[in-house]
Amino acid sequence: MSIDQIAAIDREHSTPFVPTWAPEDVGPEGFREVERRCFASADGALFGGLWEGEPGTLRVQPYPYDEICVILSGRVALVDEQGGRREFGAGDAFFVPRSFSGTWETLEPSEKIFVGYDPRGEGA
């Protein structure tokens, strides 16, 4: 391994990626996001970088991959199908399992660092 394999997680060393969601899963106010992919494993199973989102909601049934999130700014909420709700703000870190079904709410313009894992290699 060489130093060239160390990946910076910043805008300069990223590739923008905008996920495509089914229209029926996007809330009436819309859902705008951009992932800035900074690294991925050779098989595409592990990936991550920066994420930016504007206020809006997205139904995830189920969540597309296992994800660790660290909120840098803003505020988001996750609401499960039974109505349970958790909010996260700047400095909060959390894990969302691929089995989670519910709603992702971006409550205010937000940024996060994320690491995703999809054993199928479809996330990257």
pLDDT at residue number 124: 56
Closest alpha carbon to 87 in 65, 67, 71:
71
| Domains of the chain listed by start with CATH number | 3-117 (2.60.120.10)
| pLDDT, mean over the chain | 94
- pLDDT at position 121, please? 76
pLDDT value, residue 120: 87
**Half-sphere exposure (Cβ direction) of 108: Cα atoms closer than 13 Å:** 9
pLDDT at 122: 72
Please say if the pLDDT value at position 75 is more than 70: yes
Between CA 53 and CA 82 the distance in angstroms is: 25
What distance in Å separates the CA atoms of residue 82 and residue 84, rounded to the nearest whole number?
6
Average pLDDT over residues 30-54: 95
Amino acid 77: pLDDT: 98
